[in-house]
Amino acid sequence: MSIPSLLILPGDGIGPEVMAEVRKVISWLSTERSISFEVSEDSVGGAAYDTHGVPLHDDTMAKAQAVDAVLLGAVGGPKYDNLDFNIKPERGLLRLRKEMDLFANLRPAQCFDALADFSSLKHNVVSGLDIMIVRELTSGSYFGEPRGIFKENNERVGINTHRYTESEIERVARSGFELARKRDNRLCSMEKANVMEAGGLWREVVTEVHKAHFDDVELSHMYADNGAMQLVRAPKQFDVILTDNLFGDILSDCAAMLTGSLGMLPSASLGSPMENGRPKALYEPVHGSAPDIAGQGKANPSASILSFAMALRYSFDMGNEASRIESAVESVLADGVRTSDLLQAKGEKPVTTSEMGDAILEALTKSL
């Protein structure tokens, strides 16, 4: 049996710092759990531009296509703000998503009890929150044609086309239903079927997929604007939310802020199965490159470590080890260990990026 392979792309800003802590967890699994990975590393974003003049080298793209999973840190920074649009650091990430055909974006929104007071909502509304948003990632308003800014009747008009095919809706719906089966067996599909033809097709296809293949999963439908309202009214009513690219972008950011800390949130982008049956996959924290604190040991590595836990669960079918890591992070937070982004009171002393990683490792060892 071949050793599972990982490509680490630390990227820019705090990316290298947080990914160094992920490497510690990978080493711990090898030493303490006899779970080994074939790990390689390369550059993406500004780091790749500095070396190759492009945000993602063709050789790196080929490596990403060949491995079982890609772990990415973050990309971007003010150093690259004046670059041409086509070679900005973010284009490296977009190329990975497009060429790997990562059509299903998984954004969990989990509020750890120790951080419930960080949310802008009341403690009892968000404490224990654990929902998953499945966002279609490669079609819809961001990719539909025609698009652009045109001249019409002596004035400019901006056009973006909200376009979906049946097959695009079906494959992301299948991903959502399969995920729901592994959770609480409930899925709420959100669109605007009342005013958008593409939304009407979305609802029809999701219903057809449900009836044909997943009738054991509880399915509900909701207009996306009502969904946004319900997320801030009573978010724990949801388990899995399935939605398109545009609404998913908005709803997942809304859900992220319910948890109280952007620095704690992981994500996964999944594609079609490879020859070994594993989906093409990229895992990354939701936070950005935070260039203002890069190199200072202030970054919170939790989101990157939790992203690796998602890789264990969704790429390698190691749910028990994923849960072990998630519980270790929760335990550390419950013990009051805090990086600078999680401090609330003056006088509290934060731990460094490395110290937070070490605390999580200690909690992992205690779990044995």
**Distance in Å from the first CA to the final CA of the chain:** 26
Whether the ω angle into residue 301 lies within 30 degrees of 0, i.e. cis, is no
Buried b (16+ CB within 10 A) or exposed e, 243-272: bbbbbbbebbebbbbbbbbbbbbbbbbbbe
Instruction: Quickly list DSSP for 91-150.
Output: HHHHHHHHHTT--EEEEEEE--GGGGGGSSS-HHHHTT-EEEEEEE-SSGGGTEEEEEEE
Buried b (16+ CB within 10 A) or exposed e, 151-176: eeeeeeeeeeebebeeebbbbbbebb
Catalytic residue list contains 84: no
Catalytic residue list contains 50: no
Catalytic residue list contains 164: no
- CA neighbor of 247 nearest in space, from 260, 262, 231, 263: 231
2 vs 37: CA distance, rounded Å: 10
Annotated catalytic residue within 142, 223, 236, 358? 142
- CA neighbor of 107 nearest in space, from 241, 198, 217: 241
Annotated catalytic residue within 12, 42, 164, 192? 192
Two tokens, residue 203: 């609802």
Catalytic residue list contains 42: no
Grouping H, G, I as helix, E, B as strand and the rest as coil, residue 227 is: helix
**Residue 269: which H helix or E strand, with range?**
strand 266-273
Region of 360 please: left (phi>0), alpha (psi -120 to 50) or beta: alpha
Annotated catalytic residue within 42, 239, 244, 249? 249
Residues 6+ apart with CB under 8 A from 285: 18, 73, 74, 263, 265, 266, 267, 303, 304, 306, 307
Annotated catalytic residue within 101, 113, 253, 358? 253
Catalytic residue list contains 192: yes
Grouping H, G, I as helix, E, B as strand and the rest as coil, residue 53 is: coil
- CA neighbor of 76 nearest in space, from 62, 61, 91, 96: 91
Active-site annotation, residues: 142, 192, 225, 249, 253
